[in-house]
């Protein structure tokens, strides 16, 4: 039977619209079962706490449980690889952190390309670091620290959470930009006892870990590492006020396997951003040192790409390699 031309064109247009309708319907019904959110760090770590706070919000908004699953190891690369190889259906997400941007260069033999294989979904927030010293060190400001370090090359021991950690590369960036020389002391466990005792003299550490010691005078805060002052330490200057252009912050966010539907990515982005605008969730994140920073997927992707390039340069120039 020969169809009239008008009828044929109508059927063809309807058929062409089916994939679009299917994607929209899929996004509207997603999620239909619990979602796994994989974190590459241990329970009670910063990324784990932030993921549980945001995960609880998402569970309530999406009507399905968002289950946080910790898979620590290799600075988050084990968790990242698990999500890279997961089905791109929105049911396996990654707690993306600034460590991913560092690891892209720090680990030369990764089985994935982070920027190519993980789709940026949503930013959760920035985690400023703070440059602290033991009070036994005479320096009471960044200029005094720089003067002391230049007068005493290789005599300051600067602790970090491990070679290739964000605290390490943040310090290395400052060291290079200020033209200093010091001894890097990496720790596999908490370096705070040695910093408090004076075994090491300085560190670039999270505000959450150090703020009570700063308030009690057991540590001296010289500067925050972000481009702007931190609400948690409003009286502490930025390092960039003394070393122009210096800016180093950690961050957390949500990622998914690369081929995840744009409709699902957009839906998750909207819900995360709604949470970051919620007064209660904002306050709870601030309590653990996270400054909520809502972004579009494209904006978050640019942050990831920019930080990956930034830390690549630092790692290569400082010749930082896995131990």
CA gap 28, 170 in Å, rounded: 42
For 14, 147, 236, 243, the CA distances from 178, given in Å and listed in that order, are 64, 10, 19, 6
DSSP state of 76: G
Report the C-alpha gap between 238 and 215 in whole angstroms. 18
The first and second tokens of residue 47, run together, are: 């990324």
Mean pLDDT score across all residues of the chain: 92
Cis preceding-peptide flag for 130 (omega within 30 of 0):
no
The pLDDT score that the predictor gives to residue 180 is 97
CB 104 within 8 A of CB 115: yes
Residues 81-133 have pLDDT tens digits of 999 999 999 999 999 999 999 999 999 999 999 999 999 999 999 999 999 99
Instruction: Report helix, strand or coil for 228.
Output: coil
**Residue bearing tokens 């949500």:** 254
What are the Cα distances from residue 245, in Å, to 34, 174, 228, 304, 311?
Answer: 44, 10, 11, 19, 15
Q: In Å, what is the CA distance from 42 to each residue of 56, 79, 189, 315?
A: 18, 11, 12, 25
| Per-residue pLDDT at 59 exceeds 70 | yes
Task: Assign 27 a pLDDT band (cuts: 50, 70, 90).
Answer: low
Return the CA Rg of the chain: 23
**Cα 98 from Cα 198, distance rounded (Å):** 29
Lowest-pLDDT choice from 102-106, 188-192, 203-207, 302-306: 188-192
pLDDT value at 263 more than 50: yes
Per this entry, what is the length of the chain? 323
Q: Evaluate whether 250 touches 127 at the Cβ level (below 8 Å).
A: yes
Tokens of 272: 């995360």
Alpha-carbon span 33 to 264, nearest angstrom: 14
**Domain ranges for the chain:** 31-127+249-318, 128-241
- In order of 35, 100, 130, the CA distances from 78 in angstroms are 19, 11, 28
Does 31-127+249-318 carry CATH code 1.10.10.60?
no
CB burial of residue 108 (10 Å; 0-12, 13-18, 19+):
exposed
- Tell which CATH classification among 3.30.70.330, 3.40.190.10, 3.10.290.10, 3.30.70.1290 matches the domain 128-241: 3.40.190.10
pTM of the shown model: 0.87
pLDDT > 90 fraction of the chain, expressed in percent and rounded: 86
- Give the Cα separation of 261 and 286 in Å (integer): 31
Same fold, 31-127+249-318 and 128-241: yes
Closest by CA position to 127, among listed 167, 78, 75, 173: 167
The pLDDT of 231-235, averaged and rounded, is 91
For the cut 60, the answer to whether the pLDDT of residue 18 exceeds it is: no
């Amino acid at each position: 039977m020969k169809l009239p031309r008008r009828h044929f064109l109508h059927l063809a247009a309807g058929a062409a619209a089916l994939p679009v309708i299917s994607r929209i319907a899929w996004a509207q019904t997603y999620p239909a079962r619990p979602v796994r959110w994989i974190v590459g760090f241990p329970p009670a770590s910063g990324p784990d706490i932030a993921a549980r706070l945001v995960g609880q919000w998402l569970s309530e908004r999406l009507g399905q449980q968002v289950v946080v699953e910790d898979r620590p190891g290799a600075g988050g690369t084990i968790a990242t690889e698990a999500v890279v190889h997961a089905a791109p259906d929105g049911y396996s997400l990654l707690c993306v952190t600034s460590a991913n941007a560092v690891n892209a260069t720090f680990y030369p033999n990764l089985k994935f390309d982070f920027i190519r294989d993980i789709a940026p979904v949503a930013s959760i927030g920035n985690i400023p670091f703070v440059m602290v010293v033991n009070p036994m060190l005479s320096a009471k400001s960044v200029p005094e620290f720089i003067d002391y370090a230049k007068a005493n090359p290789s005599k300051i021991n600067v602790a970090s959470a491990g070679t290739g950690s964000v605290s390490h590369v943040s310090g290395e960036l400052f060291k290079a930009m200020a033209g200093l020389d010091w001894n890097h002391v990496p720790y596999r466990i908490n370096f705070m006892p040695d910093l408090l005792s004076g075994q090491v003299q300085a560190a670039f550490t999270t505000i959450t870990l150090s703020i009570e010691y700063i308030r009690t005078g057991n540590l001296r805060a010289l500067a925050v590492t972000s481009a702007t002052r931190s609400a948690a330490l409003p009286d502490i200057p930025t390092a960039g006020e003394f070393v122009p252009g210096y800016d180093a912050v950690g961050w957390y966010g949500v990622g998914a396997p690369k081929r995840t539907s744009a409709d699902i990515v957009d839906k998750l982005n909207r819900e995360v951003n709604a949470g970051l605008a919620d007064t209660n969730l904002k306050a709870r994140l601030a309590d653990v040192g996270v400054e909520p920073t809502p972004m579009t997927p494209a904006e978050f992707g640019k942050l990831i790409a920019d930080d990956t390039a930034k830390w690549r340069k630092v790692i290569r120039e400082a010749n930082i390699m896995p131990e």
